[in-house]
Amino acid sequence: MNADLSEFRRGVVAPVECIKEGWALIKDQYWLFLGISLVGILIGGAVPIVLLGPMMIGIFLCLLQRQRGEPVEFGTLFKGFDHFVQGLVVAAVKMIPIFIVLVPYYIFLFTMMATSMPRGRHPSPEDSQAFVWSFFGVEMVFFVVIMVVSMLIEIFFMFAFPLIADRKLSGLDAVKLSFRAGKANIGGIIGLILLNGLLAFVGVLCCIIGVYFYLPIAFASQVVAYRRVFPDIGQTFPSPPPPPGNWA
Protein backbone atom coordinates (compact mmCIF):
# COMPACT_ATOMS: atom_id res chain seq x y z
CA MET A 1 0.00 0.00 0.00
CA ASN A 2 1.29 3.46 -0.95
CA ALA A 3 2.66 5.39 2.03
CA ASP A 4 0.50 8.42 1.20
CA LEU A 5 -2.64 6.27 1.24
CA SER A 6 -1.82 4.93 4.70
CA GLU A 7 -1.25 8.30 6.38
CA PHE A 8 -3.79 9.48 8.93
CA ARG A 9 -4.18 11.99 11.73
CA ARG A 10 -4.46 11.16 15.40
CA GLY A 11 -6.83 12.52 18.02
CA VAL A 12 -8.84 14.68 15.62
CA VAL A 13 -12.38 13.28 16.00
CA ALA A 14 -14.60 15.73 17.91
CA PRO A 15 -18.05 14.08 18.24
CA VAL A 16 -20.26 17.16 18.55
CA GLU A 17 -18.47 18.98 15.75
CA CYS A 18 -18.69 15.91 13.50
CA ILE A 19 -22.45 15.75 13.92
CA LYS A 20 -22.87 19.49 13.37
CA GLU A 21 -20.70 19.40 10.25
CA GLY A 22 -22.47 16.26 9.08
CA TRP A 23 -25.83 18.01 9.25
CA ALA A 24 -24.41 21.07 7.49
CA LEU A 25 -23.05 18.77 4.79
CA ILE A 26 -26.38 17.23 3.82
CA LYS A 27 -29.07 19.66 4.95
CA ASP A 28 -29.48 21.25 1.51
CA GLN A 29 -30.09 17.80 0.02
CA TYR A 30 -31.45 16.06 3.09
CA TRP A 31 -34.27 14.19 1.37
CA LEU A 32 -31.92 12.82 -1.28
CA PHE A 33 -29.56 11.49 1.37
CA LEU A 34 -32.46 10.14 3.39
CA GLY A 35 -33.54 8.13 0.36
CA ILE A 36 -29.97 6.98 -0.32
CA SER A 37 -29.53 5.89 3.30
CA LEU A 38 -32.85 4.06 3.57
CA VAL A 39 -32.53 2.24 0.25
CA GLY A 40 -28.91 1.35 0.99
CA ILE A 41 -29.74 -0.09 4.40
CA LEU A 42 -32.84 -1.87 3.08
CA ILE A 43 -30.97 -3.59 0.26
CA GLY A 44 -27.88 -4.22 2.35
CA GLY A 45 -29.95 -5.73 5.15
CA ALA A 46 -31.63 -8.20 2.79
CA VAL A 47 -28.45 -10.31 2.59
CA PRO A 48 -26.10 -8.57 5.02
CA ILE A 49 -22.74 -10.22 4.35
CA VAL A 50 -23.22 -10.15 0.57
CA LEU A 51 -24.99 -6.84 -0.06
CA LEU A 52 -24.23 -4.67 2.95
CA GLY A 53 -20.66 -3.93 1.87
CA PRO A 54 -21.48 -2.56 -1.60
CA MET A 55 -24.39 -0.55 -0.23
CA MET A 56 -22.29 1.02 2.52
CA ILE A 57 -19.59 1.88 0.02
CA GLY A 58 -22.25 3.41 -2.23
CA ILE A 59 -23.59 5.55 0.63
CA PHE A 60 -20.10 6.82 1.39
CA LEU A 61 -19.40 7.46 -2.29
CA CYS A 62 -22.41 9.79 -2.31
CA LEU A 63 -21.36 11.57 0.88
CA LEU A 64 -17.75 11.95 -0.25
CA GLN A 65 -18.94 13.45 -3.53
CA ARG A 66 -21.04 15.92 -1.60
CA GLN A 67 -18.08 16.73 0.61
CA ARG A 68 -15.97 17.52 -2.45
CA GLY A 69 -18.69 19.82 -3.77
CA GLU A 70 -19.58 17.50 -6.64
CA PRO A 71 -23.18 16.90 -7.75
CA VAL A 72 -24.73 13.80 -6.18
CA GLU A 73 -27.18 11.52 -7.95
CA PHE A 74 -29.22 8.73 -6.42
CA GLY A 75 -27.70 6.24 -8.85
CA THR A 76 -24.27 6.78 -7.31
CA LEU A 77 -25.45 4.55 -4.48
CA PHE A 78 -25.24 1.54 -6.79
CA LYS A 79 -21.69 2.32 -7.83
CA GLY A 80 -20.78 0.59 -4.61
CA PHE A 81 -21.16 -2.62 -6.61
CA ASP A 82 -18.04 -1.59 -8.53
CA HIS A 83 -16.25 -2.52 -5.30
CA PHE A 84 -18.33 -5.61 -4.60
CA VAL A 85 -15.47 -7.96 -3.70
CA GLN A 86 -13.78 -5.44 -1.41
CA GLY A 87 -17.05 -4.67 0.35
CA LEU A 88 -17.73 -8.38 0.72
CA VAL A 89 -14.31 -8.90 2.31
CA VAL A 90 -14.87 -6.14 4.86
CA ALA A 91 -18.38 -7.34 5.70
CA ALA A 92 -17.16 -10.92 6.12
CA VAL A 93 -14.21 -9.95 8.31
CA LYS A 94 -16.51 -7.71 10.34
CA MET A 95 -18.76 -10.67 11.12
CA ILE A 96 -15.96 -12.89 12.44
CA PRO A 97 -15.93 -11.43 15.99
CA ILE A 98 -19.72 -11.79 16.16
CA PHE A 99 -19.51 -15.47 15.25
CA ILE A 100 -16.71 -15.96 17.76
CA VAL A 101 -19.07 -14.70 20.46
CA LEU A 102 -22.28 -16.32 19.22
CA VAL A 103 -21.07 -19.89 18.70
CA PRO A 104 -19.76 -20.46 22.26
CA TYR A 105 -22.82 -18.67 23.64
CA TYR A 106 -25.29 -20.97 21.92
CA ILE A 107 -23.25 -24.05 22.82
CA PHE A 108 -23.19 -22.96 26.47
CA LEU A 109 -26.89 -22.05 26.43
CA PHE A 110 -27.89 -25.39 24.93
CA THR A 111 -25.71 -27.26 27.43
CA MET A 112 -27.14 -25.30 30.35
CA MET A 113 -30.71 -25.98 29.26
CA ALA A 114 -29.98 -29.66 28.69
CA THR A 115 -28.38 -30.14 32.09
CA SER A 116 -30.60 -27.85 34.17
CA MET A 117 -34.01 -29.07 33.10
CA PRO A 118 -35.29 -31.65 35.59
CA ARG A 119 -36.04 -35.09 34.19
CA GLY A 120 -38.63 -37.63 35.22
CA ARG A 121 -40.52 -35.37 37.59
CA HIS A 122 -42.45 -32.18 37.65
CA PRO A 123 -40.07 -29.31 38.50
CA SER A 124 -40.53 -27.71 41.88
CA PRO A 125 -41.06 -23.94 42.13
CA GLU A 126 -37.52 -23.64 43.52
CA ASP A 127 -36.06 -25.50 40.55
CA SER A 128 -38.02 -23.40 38.08
CA GLN A 129 -37.00 -20.19 39.79
CA ALA A 130 -33.34 -21.21 39.86
CA PHE A 131 -33.47 -22.06 36.16
CA VAL A 132 -35.10 -18.74 35.27
CA TRP A 133 -32.54 -16.75 37.24
CA SER A 134 -29.67 -18.72 35.73
CA PHE A 135 -31.03 -18.15 32.25
CA PHE A 136 -31.53 -14.45 32.97
CA GLY A 137 -27.97 -14.16 34.29
CA VAL A 138 -26.52 -15.79 31.19
CA GLU A 139 -28.58 -13.49 28.97
CA MET A 140 -27.37 -10.40 30.82
CA VAL A 141 -23.73 -11.47 30.57
CA PHE A 142 -24.19 -12.20 26.88
CA PHE A 143 -25.84 -8.80 26.36
CA VAL A 144 -22.89 -7.01 27.95
CA VAL A 145 -20.38 -9.03 25.95
CA ILE A 146 -22.17 -8.47 22.65
CA MET A 147 -22.44 -4.73 23.36
CA VAL A 148 -18.71 -4.50 24.07
CA VAL A 149 -17.85 -6.53 20.97
CA SER A 150 -20.20 -4.44 18.83
CA MET A 151 -18.63 -1.24 20.12
CA LEU A 152 -15.14 -2.50 19.34
CA ILE A 153 -16.23 -3.56 15.86
CA GLU A 154 -17.66 -0.11 15.15
CA ILE A 155 -14.51 1.58 16.46
CA PHE A 156 -12.06 -0.43 14.42
CA PHE A 157 -14.16 -0.82 11.26
CA MET A 158 -15.59 2.70 11.11
CA PHE A 159 -13.28 3.83 8.32
CA ALA A 160 -13.07 0.60 6.31
CA PHE A 161 -15.91 1.29 3.86
CA PRO A 162 -15.00 4.98 3.38
CA LEU A 163 -11.40 3.97 2.68
CA ILE A 164 -12.56 1.72 -0.14
CA ALA A 165 -14.84 4.44 -1.50
CA ASP A 166 -12.25 7.21 -1.22
CA ARG A 167 -8.82 5.64 -1.60
CA LYS A 168 -9.79 2.50 -3.51
CA LEU A 169 -8.00 0.22 -1.07
CA SER A 170 -8.45 -3.53 -1.06
CA GLY A 171 -10.77 -4.96 1.57
CA LEU A 172 -8.00 -6.28 3.82
CA ASP A 173 -5.89 -3.14 3.48
CA ALA A 174 -8.94 -1.04 4.37
CA VAL A 175 -9.61 -3.17 7.46
CA LYS A 176 -6.00 -2.97 8.63
CA LEU A 177 -5.74 0.78 8.08
CA SER A 178 -9.14 1.40 9.68
CA PHE A 179 -8.02 -0.61 12.71
CA ARG A 180 -4.88 1.50 13.12
CA ALA A 181 -6.72 4.78 12.63
CA GLY A 182 -9.51 3.71 14.97
CA LYS A 183 -7.02 2.85 17.68
CA ALA A 184 -5.31 6.23 17.23
CA ASN A 185 -8.64 8.08 17.55
CA ILE A 186 -10.44 5.77 19.94
CA GLY A 187 -11.67 8.41 22.38
CA GLY A 188 -13.33 10.59 19.77
CA ILE A 189 -14.80 7.61 17.92
CA ILE A 190 -16.34 6.21 21.11
CA GLY A 191 -17.84 9.61 21.80
CA LEU A 192 -19.23 9.83 18.27
CA ILE A 193 -20.73 6.34 18.44
CA LEU A 194 -22.33 7.02 21.82
CA LEU A 195 -23.69 10.41 20.77
CA ASN A 196 -25.09 9.03 17.53
CA GLY A 197 -26.58 6.16 19.50
CA LEU A 198 -28.19 8.57 21.96
CA LEU A 199 -29.69 10.70 19.19
CA ALA A 200 -30.89 7.58 17.39
CA PHE A 201 -32.54 6.43 20.64
CA VAL A 202 -34.32 9.78 20.85
CA GLY A 203 -35.53 9.04 17.33
CA VAL A 204 -36.82 5.66 18.50
CA LEU A 205 -38.78 7.42 21.24
CA CYS A 206 -40.38 9.56 18.54
CA CYS A 207 -42.67 6.76 17.38
CA ILE A 208 -39.65 4.67 16.28
CA ILE A 209 -39.70 6.21 12.81
CA GLY A 210 -37.54 9.09 13.98
CA VAL A 211 -34.45 6.89 13.98
CA TYR A 212 -34.70 6.54 10.20
CA PHE A 213 -34.77 10.30 9.75
CA TYR A 214 -31.56 10.55 11.78
CA LEU A 215 -29.79 7.88 9.75
CA PRO A 216 -28.32 10.16 7.03
CA ILE A 217 -26.98 12.53 9.69
CA ALA A 218 -25.22 9.63 11.42
CA PHE A 219 -23.62 8.56 8.13
CA ALA A 220 -22.63 12.15 7.37
CA SER A 221 -21.00 12.52 10.79
CA GLN A 222 -18.92 9.42 10.05
CA VAL A 223 -17.76 10.93 6.75
CA VAL A 224 -16.77 14.13 8.55
CA ALA A 225 -14.83 12.07 11.10
CA TYR A 226 -13.24 10.10 8.27
CA ARG A 227 -12.08 13.23 6.47
CA ARG A 228 -10.62 14.63 9.68
CA VAL A 229 -8.59 11.47 10.12
CA PHE A 230 -7.79 10.91 6.43
CA PRO A 231 -7.13 14.18 4.57
CA ASP A 232 -8.20 14.43 0.96
CA ILE A 233 -5.37 13.35 -1.30
CA GLY A 234 -7.44 13.25 -4.46
CA GLN A 235 -6.34 16.65 -5.65
CA THR A 236 -2.80 16.57 -6.92
CA PHE A 237 -0.72 19.28 -8.50
CA PRO A 238 2.05 18.81 -11.05
CA SER A 239 5.54 19.19 -9.69
CA PRO A 240 7.45 22.20 -10.97
CA PRO A 241 10.19 21.44 -13.49
CA PRO A 242 13.68 21.05 -12.08
CA PRO A 243 15.85 24.16 -12.18
CA PRO A 244 18.17 24.43 -15.16
CA GLY A 245 21.64 23.08 -14.66
CA ASN A 246 24.49 25.40 -13.92
CA TRP A 247 26.43 25.72 -17.19
CA ALA A 248 28.89 28.23 -15.88
The SS3 of residue 177 is helix
Position 243 pLDDT exceeds 60: no
- Is 221 among the domain residues? yes
Domain count, the chain: 1
Position 227 pLDDT exceeds 80: yes
> Which comes out higher in pLDDT, residue 210 or 3?
210
Q: Read off the DSSP letter of residue 68.
A: T
Q: Global pTM? A: 0.84
- Is 235 among the domain residues? no
- The domain in which residue 93 lies consists of 15-117+133-229
CA dist 130 → 68, 85, 124, 136 (Å): 60, 49, 10, 10
Tell me the pLDDT tens digit for each residue of 55-103.
999 999 999 999 999 999 999 999 999 999 999 999 999 999 988 888 8
- Is 237 among the domain residues? no
- Is 246 among the domain residues? no
Position 48 pLDDT exceeds 60: yes
Packed helices 210-229 and 15-26: angle between N→C axes, nearest 10 degrees: 110
- Is 173 among the domain residues? yes
Q: Which of 183, 217, 233 is nearest to 68 (CA)?
A: 233
- Is 142 among the domain residues? yes
Mean pLDDT of the chain: 88
